[in-house]
Structure 1
């Protein structure tokens, strides 16, 4: 479809007795073909319409399924039946280097069919001549071993600013950023690392400078990429975000200086000898409107023939080198998203709506432990300059049993009796019951052992080795070197299994000169199978935390 044939369109005018020649019939076909292809090109674009999936059959063979596509001149490409080919037999494949990615393309191709004897040509030239009776509108598959430039695709240059940070035969690092944005928008800058499967692990770190935009990451303007060690792929993408300043009508810039780039391929540090810079137009009108305006203001020559020499890429095929040969390790279908969407499906999808970038926000969360029994806490701080929320959640510690024993001390004051100088329990009673004691082992049955602790030095710290604890009756030590200075006391315990607590009851066997008694207790509990007991208090804490988070939302 050349420009001379594209416009103005001419069609045959038929009248009675008209002499029809080859020129008239060719003009008839050209009229309908060129007009249809022009509308295909302008209305639908180029790419795969349906089918044409590429599948690896074995280590060296692929199958291309039947399907339909439109090329960049609007011509229909039809693969009427699945075709299976060895990769080495496809045009463009070379055997000099197997550690690579190759790109499978499909192109429109016309082929002559049904050769027949040409009577007219024989009478003119004097020898027997033949001509093709039909043209078969077919296709051609071929391979390119160089990755296409990201800017070579029709819509990429319209919507994105794409720069190349580094490129060699095995690795290419590019970065993409939108070309237009509104003030206050949060936009993603995408780092794309493309490599062959057998290339060493890639890592990249750099600092960037901005004008008209603010970094949103906690790391500021630092970016770091490290290829995962647990997966093998030919392309990796990583995004970081910046916020556009309120400067409509100006040009925002994001620059990466060569001196701020550290690129490692395996253990080898690779120098990056040039700076790259993105440009972003900060506009007041909606971005979609601006892009559509540029699209419709292009010339007809640009619309029809701007990408005439480009074909549709069906697959990126990753190869592994195995000694003197190769194997197909990976097939990525339509790697550059050259698809033609169905119009009715696109309409349905457009009705689902989309979230504006103005409504996007980022959340960062921190959690800290609170003492068991505390109420959950939730603090939220909003950072408008980063469109970010900081959530700080305080969660009470679960009552996990890591040991089957708990211990504690109860101080019991004694009141003096008049004249005698001896001391007894409050109000002269010889029985005393403590307040409720929470042992910390959770609900359920426990065993409590109680003893009377004697510390010659009252200021000595607990566990210092100076304390003695008497269990049972102290009378058994009477008239021995171990005789206690403490009175004889009978103990009892009252357990509350459902509450995780208990009380200690005491009966004083006589008077004592001590001003207070120090009662040491031990609580024992048999561990459950998972060594943890989730108490009712913990369940309530979790419910309260969930309710608090819901209220904040």
Structure 2
């Protein structure tokens, strides 16, 4: 039944004395079957009605649960008992390449049952023959190793304009965009990256040109996708938004020119040498009305035969290659959404408030930090599938660097014979003041604490002790196990609040040995409440950003 000629309908007419032959009984069955299947096809479409879940039992075996589905000719497919099969034993599976995704389909199938002796045929042929007494309306499972074309799905082709950017045996990159749009509407353009589990990491960047659309987002017409390194998926989606211009009755175009797309598979750059173009009708009437009109204006042949060679895909199975064999890593059930919803349930859902929610808008917001001194940033993206605006606000950091505390050290040479640097505490000089030190906490009052750091010898054995910092007079530890091998030095600090800097003054109280001293300092600053970013300034910054943004 590759051709879906289920019409016109011709019904048996019975009368007394009519000779009933095989043709009459076959016509009787065909009449009821074809009419029911035509209505199934036009009223319900195709897909899974219930059950038929696919589960991985082990690394090489799957189970298909009981269930019911309708195929693209309206024929009922019933799996009456769970079936467990090794993947390699299913029709269509080949062993030439294990690093791949495979697609499990279910198809309608009829099988003969109850063979019986055929009296009529034996009298004609002169030999004993048999015929099947019953037909079992059954099913057939098989595997395809090529992904179906996205445009081949009935409703997808009606609702979306789908183009293929790149495709090989391991990776396919497509882009989807609604077929119809109203002026002023914000549309989501969706990049879909499909890949095998062992394919190299995918990264993609593109620059598009648009006629009839205005780019939204801080990156303008630039779009980038980098596959997350911590995930292991076979499909990724990235959406970016454009705004429809006020040009009803025209056709908008979004184009990816050859050379404007950079695709990397691992470290290998894949050239894209063809132009990809979306064509979108910009219309005044509601989009739902136009889609409904196109749906009902299709011909009967298109409605019935357009997908007659298609079966229902139950699962996408991701395989990993393990040496000379394979293992099942992932099973994605009904990957192309081929479900038939229950009409009663759909009606109840529409009455439960979801339909009225379509007339409401929702807001989602998040904030991120910008460098100090940057201008605030505001980006708005509209998600039509859930009527939500996503606000992203970039707020400059406060004047401080990281915290209200900073630290550092100063190296002070002691050796009067040092070849480089000033000769501190030499020739009887016992006082020294450092150059200005910028503490990094900005202007204002700070408190500076200074200590003398003893750094262990790099040749000392492991476990002999780490560095120590002495505050105040070091001679208080004299004649104890904590005695410092450092001179006794008094410290003072000179703060410059208007400059955000300070100096350290030192006085040597005794003899000094060694070549240098390390002076460790800590600066502390208590910020007044609310000084990181005043609310009034923040509101002003947000207002300025919103006034200058085309996204609001």
Fold equivalence (TM over 0.5): yes
Could you tell me which residue of structure 2 aligns to residue 39 of structure 1?
Answer: 39
* Alpha carbons of structure 1 residues 91 and 30: separation in structure 2 relative to 1, 3 Å: same
Cα shift at 1:17: 3.1
Find the aligned partners of 1:23 and 1:330 in 2 and give their Cα distance: 49
Match status 1:12 vs 2:12: yes
For 1:138-537, list aligned pairs within 5 A. Answer: 138-351=138-351, 352-353=354-355, 365=367, 464=503
Aligned to 1:449: none
Cα distance 1:20–1:137, how it changes in 2: closer, same or farther (>3 A)? same
The answer to whether residue 36 in structure 2 is matched with residue 51 in structure 1 is no
Q: 1:346, 1:51 → 2: CA distance? A: 18
Q: 1:439 offset after TM fit, Å? A: 11
Q: Distance in 1 between matches of 2:394 and 2:63?
A: 54
8 A Cα contact 2:195 2:235, kept in partner: yes
Q: Determine helix, strand or coil for the equivalent of 1:141.
A: strand
Distance 1:78 1:385 in 2: 42
Q: Is the 8 A contact 1:52 1:314 kept in 2?
A: yes
Q: TM-score, normalised by structure 1?
A: 0.69
2:33 counterpart SS class: helix
Which deviations, in whole Å up to 9, do the C-alpha atoms of 1:325-362 show, x marking residues without a partner? Answer: 00001111111101101101111222312665995778
**How far does the alpha carbon of each residue in 1:215-265 deviate from its partner, in whole angstroms, 9 at most, with x for none?**
111000000000000011111110000000111000101001121111100
Deviation at 1:22, TM superposition (A): 1.2
Counterparts of 1:37 and 1:460, CA distance in 2: 86
Native 8 Å contact 1:185 1:358 kept in 2 = no
Instruction: Decide whether the 8 Å contact of 1:187 with 1:242 is kept in 2.
Output: yes
Q: Write out per-residue CA displacement over residues 275-312 of structure 1, whole angstroms, 9 at most, x where no aligned residue.
A: 10001100010101101101100111111111101100
Contact 1:185/1:357 (<8 A) preserved: no
Distance 1:286 1:454 in 2: 75
TM-score, normalisation: structure 2: 0.70
1:461/1:249 CA distance change after superposition, 3 Å: closer
Q: Per-residue displacement from partner, 1:502-521 (whole Å, max 9, x unpaired)?
A: xxxxxxxxxxxxxxxxxxxx
Distance between the aligned counterparts of 1:385 and 1:88, measured in 2?
A: 46
1:87 pairs with 2:87: yes
Residue of structure 2 equivalent to 1:136? 136
**CA offset at residue 6 of structure 1?**
2.2
Cα separation, 2, equivalents of 1:301 and 1:368 = 59
Counterpart CA distance in 1 for 2:136 and 2:77 is 11
> In 2, Cα distance between the equivalents of 1:460 and 1:124?
116
Report the counterpart of residue 67 of structure 2 in structure 1: 67
Q: Residues 110, 364 of structure 1: CA spacing in aligned structure 2 closer, same or farther, 3 A cutoff?
A: same
Quote the Cα distance in structure 1 between the aligned partners of 2:325 and 2:33. Answer: 45
Matched residues in 2 for 1:7 and 1:41: separation? 13
Match of 1:77 in 2: 77
Q: Is the 8 A contact 1:197 1:233 kept in 2?
A: yes
CA distance in 2, matches of 1:175, 1:320: 27
Distance of 1:77 and 1:118 partners within structure 2? 30
Q: C-alpha distance in 2, partners of 1:78/1:219?
A: 51
Could you tell me whether the CA contact under 8 Å between 2:4 and 2:305 is conserved in 1? no
Q: Deviations over 1:16-64 (max 9, x none)?
A: 3332221111111111110000000000000011100111100000000
Instruction: From the superposition, tell whether residues 401 and 25 of structure 1 become closer, same or farther in structure 2 (CA, over 3 Å).
Output: same
- CA shift in 2, pair 1:462/1:220, >3 Å: closer
In structure 2, the gaps of 5 or more residues are 384-388, 407-444, 448-491, 508-523, 544-552
Q: 1:177 to 1:385 in 2, by over 3 A?
A: closer
**Residue-pair matches, total:** 437
Quick one: distance in 1 between partners of 2:229 and 2:140? 39
**Hey, what's the Cα distance between the residues in 1 that align with 2:499 and 2:31?**
109
Determine if contact 1:197/1:318 at 8 Å carries over to the other structure. yes
Could you say if the C-alpha distance between residues 123 and 11 of structure 1 is closer, same or farther in structure 2, counting changes exceeding 3 Å?
same
Shift of 1:2: 7.6
